[in-house]
Structures are given as structure tokens and as C-alpha cells.
A and B are shown apart, each in its own frame.
Chain A
Amino acid sequence: MPRTLTINGQEISARSDQTILEAARDAHIHIPVLCHLDGLTDVGACRMCLVEVAGSNKLLPACTTRVQEGMEVRTDTERLRAYRRQIIELLFAERNHVCAVCVANGHCELQNLGIEVGMDHVRYDYIFPTLGVDLSHERFGMDHNRCILCTRCVRACDQLEGAHTIDVMGRGAKSLIIRDMNVPWGESITCTSCGKCVMACPTGALFKQGSTVAEMVHDAEKLAFLRAAREKRVWNV
């Protein structure tokens, strides 16, 4: 059953099982995302994609909210823009994002979003917690200082590789990405070294060893391809 709705005043149609985000993308309407990655399930965690829906006083995440007949969605109000900027600023203040010396400089979704939301400075105190860098794996590395806890790596490893090597430890600001029962990556007995987590990562937190500043490109689109190929059993495009 198709559904008709409006996004930013523009009439669009969507399938009833589509999310607002999917429907918007089909209509070439851009909604910023960070924890969403094509090919992985959505968790609605980063709150970048929040939209206003007429008749609801709650902001709804476009990535997990299904379309409904007659829905009136706004994705770009003044208020939403302000919130998105605050969220990005909070992320920059939370750990250590000095882009100039980051392997992902120029290929980073966080950096791109910072530019997109017009963040020219950060109003909050930088917290700079002392976190480690794990280089124990022979090919990959993890820098917790660049991690934004989007759990894309967790979901990629679990849902696409089926290894579930990665998870989150602790809570609140003390949350930390771990492998197995918090062992160094190189000692993980479940990791297959497939590199899917590295592909999924939006920042410089996960990288291929040997990459120098501004070299680390994440090929996250491959993950969506993988999922689609497996489900539809079509391997050449």
C-alpha cells in the first residue's frame, strides 16, 4: 500500500513499510544521519535525523519512524538546525577530535556534519578524557579518542559478519567499545579480521594500520551492497 505524505511541503509517496528517512531519500530530500548506515539495523541513537511531525509535540527520528498516510514532516526548521549543531558540538567536546592530525581527515562523516550544520566553534568545555589506542591487531587499529559510540561497528560485526566480536562496555560518558571480554583486538579469538567494522566507522576511530593523516577512506557503501547482495542473491551490479 503506498502512502502519501509531505516533507517540507513537498508531496511524496512512499511504501507503507518505509521509514521517513528512506522516503525522503527516494524523493532526494536530504536528512543528516550519523548512527544510520545503509545495510545495518537502525538504533535511533545519534538524534541527528530528528524531524518535526505535525500533530506530535515530540521530535521523531526519521531513521526509525515509519511513514504514515497524510504525515506532514519538516526536516529543516530553525529549531532542528540549532539542535543538530548542539549535538555535533557535544560530540566534538566529548573526546578528542583534532581533525588536523586524524587519519580520517577529509573522509570523516563527523567532520562533514560539522561543516554542514555550520559549526564554527564549540561552546562547551572540551573534556579530553585519557583514552587508549589499540594497535594490537596486525592490520587494523582503534583510537578510542575519535570514537563517537555510534555502534555502527558493533552492528556491522554482528549483523553482517556474524562474529559479534564488538560490544559496548560501561554506561554514560564512560561507555567504551570493546572486543570480546575487553581484550586487545589482536587477542580476540572471535574476530575474523574481515574489516567490516573499519568500513562502517564514520570517523577515524577505526582505521587500517599504516594509513597516514587524511588517507583513511571508509568504504561503508560496500556494507549495504553486501547485505543487499546476500538478501537478493545478486552479486554483480
Chain B
Amino acid sequence: MNLEELNATATSERLARMKKRHHMYVCVGTACQALNSEQIAKALQAELKQRGQAADVEVKCVGCPGLCSLGPLVEIESRVNGQAAAAEAEDDRRRSVLYQFVKPEDAGEIVAHLDGEPVKRLETPLDQPFFTRQTKIVLEHCGKIDPERIEDYIAVGGYQALLKVLTEMTPQQVIDEITRSGLRGRGGAGFPTGLKWGTVAKSDPSAYPTHVPEGIQSRKFVICNGDEGDPGAFMDRSVMEGDPHRILEGMAIAAYAVGANQGFIYVRAEYPLAVKRLRTAIRQAQRAGLLGNGIGGTAFSFNVDIRLGAGAFVCGEETALMASIEGGRGVPRPRPPFPAESGLWGCPTLINNVETLANVPPIIMKGAAWFAGIGTEKSKGTKVFALTGQVANTGLIEVPMGISLREIVFDIGGGIPGGRQFKAVQTGGPSGGCIPAQFLDMPVDYESLAKVGSIMGSGGMIVMDDSTDMVEVARFFMEFCMDESCGKCIPCRAGTVQMHRILTKIQEGRATRRDIQILEELCDMVKHTSLCGLGQSAPNPVISTLRYFREEYERKVNGEQKPEARSQRAEARGQKPEGRSQKPAIRS
């Protein structure tokens, strides 16, 4: 497809859409699908057919609109003026209704109420802060388009940015635009995206030994990191499931900018729906000439393949991820050399996370200045968070950088349920830390989070109420890191095991003050000597809970001073030496 054909498709899609009086969007993201939402779509269709309204109403299966805790969700958009469709009508005002907890049996009632008042029993207000306080860039199409139809994506302006860069911009101009936008990597560390692109663009594939397998034409690569493994995180999954073409377009633009002709999307195999939709999207884009050889009639070629990860958390680390794509054991290697210089098969490789790439097409279309106008001085744009834990509204949110934690937890999240008190919010998953109530008014951006000992991470946000045991939180994350350590370097492999043992001892009332001291020393050592980010950040949840909730640790240790606890300990030690009885030893 060239630009003209793209525009023609977009127009005819829009016209067809306008002919319909009502649009029903049924969420078929993983969470809603698990609650049988595909059956709802079928029931709605059957009901419409029976009433002879099928021609007037469109039922669309869409990605996640965000509020997973109320799912399955069905959104209905209807023309307000009630007139028969006049395609050119400027006055295309629409009314939206959102239904929560929908069941297939509700189909009849929903269809019957299409033109009248909404079904009160199912309705959830759309003007609640959960929706009104968000700013959607990455998720703008999630929940609005059918992720399995490329035409849907084209109708909302998809692939315009790609054809624009291919026909109107030089690679350097693309890089400049991204640099000016201030976009930073959304995978966790927040490295400036434009700078990374520029480095890959300038890197010479012959500077390091390369050994690219036969049949691969490219000497530079673009990788989309979709290996989302943080407990409680599903940001990238939702984008991959809800708007897969957006990622392909972002990758193709990146590839053009850095001079790559081959891309890989690395997705964990636990995301079968994302994999399926990405596969469909790749096939459709290839058929439309928007991927493959001579894209859009230009000389630029770019192919994308999917690689499945077997579910090792460490494979989210870029050097381990590349080893895995190459077919080796997914273990990290020391950097430098960085992937930008020597990555996949020794070639310069650009590796960006899903959310980063999804930000690219709108930056190209709307301009760097528009993007840079959102967010804070140093953190531009929006961030997608998976809001979970002890909060009324759990789900996926996208907010401008610089929003306060309080707004996220109490306005968007709807506060703490069950009349309990807020205690802390854990950000950044196993690499992050716990932020206590005193920082609720802190703006959420890369620097502020780092200042209080946490990180943005990929965007998991777990809200905890006053019933939460912070030592247990630390122990949970340490257990995760211990199980996910690749085992290559000693500090992480053996250090996490020992830290986990001490945390367990503290929990069981068997620890002394000395154990806390040893724990702190281990945190410091593992953080500073581990080979990759997994080990370097594994101590963070412990460090931050020790920093803000130290008294909880001390209370448990002091409890140990009770004489009967001490004798129990001695008894246990006398009968069976610690550890020997526990098999496998690292799980206590």
C-alpha cells in the first residue's frame, strides 16, 4: 500500500463505520476473555439478528479498555441525533455507555435498550475519575479497534507515520524528532530513546565480529522486548493484545531510522493471545505491503519475526534476551559492549520495550513538541501502569508523567477498600521499592521515584493497605528473584538464597539483630557486584522496606528475645541441622 491506497482504505472504513447507528465494543483482552466475553459478543450478534437490527449495529471485539476489575466490559457508542446515517454529516456526536460485569444472558436487555435509556443495573459511569483523569497515547486505540483487523488500525490513522517517514524524512530527521520529543525507554531504566537510536544508527556492523546465520539479510536489528515478567504487570500484554499493529509500525519506523532490515518481537509464551494477534498482524501487514520488501512502494525493506520466551524472567534483560533469540541459554553477559554496538550475532541492535515503540507513531504524526508538552521537565509523555493490590479500581491506566501518587491511588484507583488505611505503594516490581504514605504527593516521574528509593520499572504498581506485612512483601520479592536468578554470577545466585533465608528466619521469629546486619551487608554487596540488572536490583524491595518500615523488622527480631522462642530454636537446631531437612534447600 502506498499513501494514496492507505488513505482510500481509511476513508472507506470510516464511511462504513458511520453508516452504523450503534457500535458495541466487547473487551476480549485476557482478563475479560477468561470471563467468557467472546460469548457475549456472540449473544449480542444473535440477538441483533433476531430483532433485524444487525445491519444497523456493529459488534466489535476489542482489546482491554482498562478497568479489568469490572469486567467483562461492553461499551456502546450511539449516534445522538438519531438520524439515519449521513456519512458526511459533521454532526456525528455520539453518546457512550459502559456496561460492567456483563454476562451473555444480558444480551437481550442490552439490545432492547439500545435506543432508549441505558440498562441501569449494568451501567458504570464514564465520567468517574478512573476515566477522566487519564491521558491516553499508548492505549488510545485499545478498546476501540478490533486488533485482528488491519483496516481498523488504518481507519484510525495507522501506518500514516510509517509512510510519512519513508517518503518525507531522512533517518536522521526521524532520530532528531524522537530526541526532541524527550521520549525515554519505558522498560524501566528510562534511557533517552533518541540517543539510543542515534547510537545504533552510527554503529558499524563490522566493528565487532559478526556471525549472522545464513538467510538473514540484515546487519542491524531491531528488537521489541515483550518479555514482561514482573509479578502483577500486564501493560505490554494489553498493548500487544489490543493494538498489535501499533507496535509493528513503531518497529518499522525505528528500523528505518537505524538502518535495520530485520526485527524480532520477543514475547513470553505465557501470552498466547498476544502471540496470536501479533502473528495475525504481521501477516496482514505483509499482505498490505506495509512490512516486507519495498514497503509502501519505497526501497525500504523490513521483516519482523516473533520469538517466544520460555518464561525466564532474566530473559527480559537485553543481553540475555539476545542470547535466547540466538538460540542459546538465556543468560546475560557483561556490558560493554552494549547491544547498540554489538548485539544480536555481534551486530548493532536496537532494543526497545513495547510501550516505548508504541509511543513512536503518534510522535511522528503529532510532532515532538506536542509530546514534549505532556509530562514533566525531564520525564515526557505518559506512562502506563498496571494498578493492582488493595485499591478499589484495579486495571490498566495511562497517566501523564508528573501526576501525584495520591491522584493515582485515590482518584483514579478509587482509594483503599474496606475502610482500611493506605500504607505503601510498591512500584517497579522486583526491581523496585515500597513508597510510604509520606510521599503520596510526590510527582510520579523517573527522578522522583529514584529519589525515594524506587523506580518506574516497566509500570507495575501494587497498592498496600495497613494490614500488609512489609517483611513479607520483601520476602515475596526476594523469593521471586531467587527463583528467577539465572545462576551465572555468584552474588545473585547464592546471595538471594541467603537473603531469602534470613527474611524467612525473621518471619518465623528465629532471627537476631545480627541477622538484620548481615542482611543489609548482603543487600549492599549483591546490588553492587551482580552481573546484570536482576541481581543488581534484587535487594531493592528489602532496602526500601528496611528504610521506611524498619520497626517492623525490629519488632519481629525483638520478639525472638522471648525465652521460649530461644529454647525452641535451640531444640530445632539440636534435632536436625538447619537446611539439611529442607529439600530442595532453597525453598524454606
Contact B579 A64 (CB under 8 A): no
Interface-located stretch among B83-91, B187-195, B273-281, B482-490: B482-490
A45 interfacial by beta-carbon distance below 8 Å: yes
Question: In the complex where A64-B334, A87-B529, A128-B579 touch, is A174 in contact with B498 (Cβ < 8 A)?
Answer: no
B531 interfacial by beta-carbon distance below 8 Å: yes
Contact A90 B498 (CB under 8 A): yes
B251 partner residues in chain A, CB cutoff 8 A: none
* Chain A contact residues, CB within 8 Å of chain B: 43-47, 50, 59, 61, 64-65, 82-83, 86-87, 90-91, 93-94, 123-130, 148-149, 167-168, 170-175
A43-B332 Cα distance, complex, nearest whole Å? 10
- Among B493, B495, B522, B530, residue most surrounded by chain A Cβ atoms (within 10 Å): B493
Contact A173 B531 (CB under 8 A): no
Q: Which of B314, B488, B529 contacts A83 (CB 8 A)?
A: B529
Contact B579 A125 (CB under 8 A): yes
**B298-318 interface code vs A (CB 8 A; 1 in, 0 out):** 000000000000001010000
Question: In the complex where A43-B488, A45-B490 touch, is A124 in contact with B518 (Cβ < 8 A)?
Answer: yes
CB contacts under 8 Å to A, within B504-543, are: 518, 521-522, 525, 528-531
Chain A residue at smallest Cβ distance from B485 = A172
A130 partner residues in chain B, CB cutoff 8 A: 583
A175-B494 Cα distance, complex, nearest whole Å? 11
Q: Which of B494, B518, B529, B580 contacts A173 (CB 8 A)?
A: B494
CB distance from A225 to the nearest CB of B (A): 24
Contact B501 A125 (CB under 8 A): yes
A123-B502 Cα distance, complex, nearest whole Å? 12
A170-B486 Cα distance, complex, nearest whole Å? 8
A46 partner residues in chain B, CB cutoff 8 A: 489-490
* Chain B contact residues, CB within 8 Å of chain A: 312, 314, 329, 333-334, 336, 482-491, 493-498, 501, 518, 521-522, 525, 528-531, 577-580, 583-586
A126-B583 Cα distance, complex, nearest whole Å? 13
B579 partner residues in chain A, CB cutoff 8 A: 125-128
A126-B497 Cα distance, complex, nearest whole Å? 11
Task: Supply 15 further A-B pairs (C-beta < 8 A) apart from A94-B493, A130-B583.
Answer: A43-B488, A47-B490, A47-B530, A90-B498, A94-B494, A124-B498, A129-B583, A149-B487, A149-B493, A171-B487, A172-B485, A173-B485, A173-B487, A173-B493, A173-B585
A86 partner residues in chain B, CB cutoff 8 A: 491, 521-522, 525
Cβ contacts A to B, 25 pairs, < 8 Å: A43-B333, A43-B488, A44-B531, A45-B489, A46-B490, A47-B489, A47-B491, A59-B528, A83-B529, A86-B525, A87-B491, A87-B529, A90-B494, A125-B501, A125-B578, A127-B585, A128-B579, A129-B583, A130-B583, A171-B484, A171-B485, A171-B487, A172-B482, A173-B485, A175-B493
B490 partner residues in chain A, CB cutoff 8 A: 45-47, 87, 90-91, 94, 148
CB distance from B279 to the nearest CB of A (A): 28
A87-B518 Cα distance, complex, nearest whole Å? 13
A130-B486 Cα distance, complex, nearest whole Å? 20
B484 partner residues in chain A, CB cutoff 8 A: 171-172
Contact B585 A128 (CB under 8 A): yes
B584 partner residues in chain A, CB cutoff 8 A: 129, 174
A94 partner residues in chain B, CB cutoff 8 A: 490, 493-494, 497
Question: In the complex where A83-B529, A128-B580 touch, is A45 in contact with B488 (Cβ < 8 A)?
Answer: yes
A65-B334 Cα distance, complex, nearest whole Å? 9
Interface pairs A-B: 7 shortest CB-CB: A175-B487, A90-B494, A44-B334, A172-B485, A127-B585, A129-B585, A94-B494
Chain B residue at smallest Cβ distance from A90 = B494
Chain A residue at smallest Cβ distance from B314 = A171
Contact B334 A90 (CB under 8 A): no
Chain B residue at smallest Cβ distance from A47 = B529
A61-B332 Cα distance, complex, nearest whole Å? 14
Contact B501 A47 (CB under 8 A): no
Contact A171 B494 (CB under 8 A): no
A65-B483 Cα distance, complex, nearest whole Å? 29
A59 partner residues in chain B, CB cutoff 8 A: 528-529
CB distance from A89 to the nearest CB of B (A): 9
